[in-house]
Amino acid sequence: METKTRGHFTKKDLTARGWTAKMIERYLKEPDRLEDNPHCKSGAPMHCYEPDRVKRLELEVPSIKQAIERKAAKLTQKRAEVNQVENSLLEFVESLHIKVYPIPIADLLSCAIAHNNRSAVNPVASLDLPPQQLFDLCVVYLRSPYAPAKERLGVTSGPAVARLRERIDTEIKAAYPDLYRNILAIGGKKQ
């Protein structure tokens, strides 16, 4: 995750590698090059350091080497913790009983429209909507019973959320294999 600037390390890169501000000041002293700040034109220039010089110091100076090793150990530990949490969330998702029971398409459309109009700020859904919008309303409605499970995950993205959505969508497709075509058959305003 280095943001090498024309082949150079910035202070941010060095910090990510385990360097401290004091180490940079003590061992690297002056930057090898200054570059305009890409985030703010009037901001302080970015200090850029030659990678060869940085890597040589990382190998030669014991305190820098130890700092980098500590940083690497922390990252490894953090990754392990993240993996453990993700695995726990995936186990939770796999333990859920997910089943979509089919009902007649006309009833599904009525329920989906009513569900949307109850929860929408501007309730305007009706059978006059284009088929794609009606399809989307049905999918949102069919997913809605599993919203509490998604909330229990405590995250808005990631492998567990993706797996939950995948399981729900698989059930929707199994219960309604031709949902879009059935919506077209019932009506829906042509686009």
What residue numbers bound the domain in which 105 lies? 96-186
pLDDT band, residue 1 (cuts 50/70/90): very low
Contact 116, 125 (CB under 8 A): yes
The tokens for 107 are 């009833």
The tokens for 161 are 């959320």
Is 88 part of any domain? no
Q: Are 108 and 62 found together in one domain?
A: no
- Record the pTM: 0.63
pLDDT at position 145 over 90: yes
In tens, the pLDDT along 166-179 reads: 999 999 999 999 99
Q: Are 106 and 158 found together in one domain?
A: yes
156 vs 4, which has greater pLDDT? Answer: 156
Q: Are 100 and 138 found together in one domain?
A: yes
Provide the domain count of the chain.
Answer: 2
pLDDT band, residue 7 (cuts 50/70/90): confident
Is 165 part of any domain? yes
CB atoms < 10 A from the CB of 32, how many? 15
